[in-house]
Amino acid sequence: MVKRTFLKRPAIEEDFSLQITSMADIFTIILIFLLKSFATGQFAFSPSKGITLPVAVGSAAQSEALKVEVSRDAILIEGRPIAKGAPALARAFQHERKRQNLIVSKNPSVSRDARILIVADQEVPYSDLRTVLTSAATQGYTDFKLAVAGRN
């Protein structure tokens, strides 16, 4: 049975134009977010004599990080020799943190950095690296990067 209506409905003209303004805004925001979060950077450094870097595949380290070199017979922080042992390392990292705080107090546009780059000889025992990392962490250097030689 077919249902009949006595009222005629007016024909509705629907406009199916595509509204891409909002979609373009969303894609622009996503693109900006992805570009901002994607950071690459390489820097050249030469380890001290007697340090052989381990080989690995990974991303490049940041150049703004505090550079700590560890070899079998010496530890260098930004090129300055430090006596081996936890107390001497703690004092050296404390000195670096104070130096950073002084720079920040004189120049508010500079921020304190928690990054540290460890350049260690592959023959260095893990216990020595653990001492360096623990001493650095106690002074607020918590973002660690380990320098390695890339594969050819």
Residue 7 belongs to a domain: no
Domain count, the chain: 1
pLDDT tens-place string over residues 47-101? 788 887 777 655 544 446 788 888 888 888 888 888 777 788 888 888 888 888 8
Residue 125 belongs to a domain: yes
Domain around 124: 66-146
Residue 115 belongs to a domain: yes
How confident is the model over 11-15, as a mean pLDDT? Answer: 68
Residue 61 belongs to a domain: no
CATH number at residue 121: 3.30.420.270
Residue 56 belongs to a domain: no
C-alpha distances in angstroms, 27 versus 18, 22, 32, 34, 86? 16, 9, 9, 10, 51
pLDDT tens-place string over residues 18-37? 677 788 888 888 988 888 77
Residue 29 belongs to a domain: no
pTM of the model: 0.53
C-alpha distances in angstroms, 94 versus 98, 122, 133? 6, 26, 13
Residue 26 belongs to a domain: no
Q: Where are the alpha helices (DSSP H) in the chain?
A: 21-37, 86-106, 126-138
